[in-house]
Amino acid sequence: MTIEQNYQLAKAQYEKWGIDVESALETLKQVPISIHCWQGDDVSGFEVDQQELSGGIDVTGDYPGKATTPEQLRQDLEQALSLIPGKHRINLHAIYAETNGEKVERDQLEPKHFQNWIDWAKQHQLGLDFNPTLFSHPKAADGLTLSHPNKNIRDFWIRHCKASRQIAEYIGKELGTPALTNIWIPDGYKDTPSDRLTPRKRLKDSLDQIFSDQIDERYNIDAVESKLFGIGSEAYVVGSHEFYLGYALKNNILCLLDTGHYHPTEMVSNKISAMLLFSDRIALHVSRPVRWDSDHVVTFDDELKEIGLEIVRNDALDKVMIGLDFFDASINRVAAWTIGTRNMIKSLLYALLMPNDQLKAYQEQGNFTERLAILEEFKTYPFGAIWDYYCKQMNVPVGVEWLKQVQQYEQEVLLNRS
């Protein structure tokens, strides 16, 4: 049977439940995923005096073909985007500035250092998001930045974050779509601290200074990101979930939830509806932790499906800004982007094809038997036939056909890089 025939049969099954499949596909087309550039070069960046990766994060593996120039990274992103259905965004870190061989300190970065990214994004009709980079730097070597007891070090990072917001505002204005500027810091202690409060006071003061600059919200959206622990900050992090949740709510900025930044028994999917009651919008970094925040490539697992369901059944597709954050150097990096992003989109389609109103009604009526039975039944509904049709509609490879293109790209491009 053809893809079209399989689609029509599957569509008929879903329509028995009142699900408008064509409407679901049209909705899905409008949802952008912010794809992180750092998967393509192992979070290295392009600074003149490139530092070793630090900040409680690590990339393992040495698969051939890592991008070592901005041009190579953009080329790899273009290849991945050609295999992913929909129009999306690219998420940049400040270390991806292009300074033409000149050493420019992070607190001196300007919009001009990202003009090539902006021009490229215009060419490909992509939005851009942004992150100040508060790791892999001599002034972050002891694991403290915005909460550092040394005022000179704090001030350096405050200036860097202010510069980043100005860069993001320029990006948003140039591209006609606001950039999400997300602040994450590695600050914390390896062993049990004797004072948890003072570093948090310093962090609050630093953030207050950063956000005191008036930036046009039409072009820049601010977010802060928490973490449970990292390598070297196992006992205590300054920017905990509770800290940033309180700060975001009080200051009317977004709280960004990274799916790898919580205790293994905590599910980000369970936090979405609670936070949307008190925030107009929230942001996500979708990753896959394996025992810790190891940033594995996103797979189509139960938690990813649940994240998609929580966004869709709560009518929050325009309230949740979805980004990705994983980095695996043990496999083909273009394939990693493709697998992870396609899976994120699959989770949203899966949720759009559920009889969400009926399931809500069962719960409200106390019909828990019916609710469980239907939830389980839909796990084997012909979702794959709808996904294949969507990919064909969007002119990207169906099934694993994309893998042939990645393998060809590897042979022709990646393996020829020195």
Given 11, 271, 285, 305, the catalytic residue: 285
Please pick, among 36, 113, 148, 227, the residue that the annotation labels catalytic.
Answer: 227
User: Is position 16 annotated as part of the catalytic site?
Assistant: no
In degrees, rounded to 5, the angle at the alpha carbon of residue 309 between the alpha carbons of residues 308 and 312 is 85
Name the 3-class secondary structure at 348. helix
Using the structure block, give the residue that is written with the tokens 């919009």: 111
How deeply is 408 buried, as exposed, middle or buried, from its count of CB atoms within 10 A (0-12, 13-18, 19+)?
exposed
Residue for token digits 């200036």? 159
Q: How far apart are CA 300 and CA 345, in angstroms?
A: 10
The residues, ordered by sequence, that sit 6+ positions from 204 with a Cβ below 8 Å of its Cβ are 243, 247
| Under 8 Å between Cβ of 34 and 256 | no
- Residue by residue, DSSP assigns 365-394 as HT-HHHHHHHHHHGGGSSHHHHHHHHHHHT
Count CB neighbours of 178 within 10 A: 21
Considering 41, 187, 310, 325, which one is annotated as catalytic? 325
Could you identify the residue written with the tokens 């500027």? 181
Query: Tokens 């979930």 appear where?
Result: 241
Compute the Cα dihedral for 233, 236, 238, 242 and give only its sign. positive
- Is 258 annotated in the active site? yes
Q: Which of 66, 139, 261, 346 is catalytic?
A: 261
Is residue 295 among the annotated active site residues? yes
Annotation marks residue 227 as catalytic? yes
CB 162 within 8 A of CB 123: no
- Annotated active-site residue 261? The verdict is yes
Q: What are φ and ψ of residue 286, in 5° steps?
A: -95, 120
Catalytic residue among 107, 169, 293, 410: 293
Catalytic residue among 76, 129, 222, 225: 225
Nearest partner of 298 among 264, 331, 343, judged by Cα: 343
| 310 SS3 class | helix
Active site residue 112: no
409 sits in which H/E element: helix 401-412
Q: Which of 159, 177, 157, 156 is nearest to 168 (CA)?
A: 177
Decide if 208 is catalytic: no
Instruction: Give dist(CA 360, CA 315) in Å, integer.
Output: 13
Residues annotated as catalytic (active site), given as ranges: 184, 225, 227, 258, 261, 285, 293, 295, 325
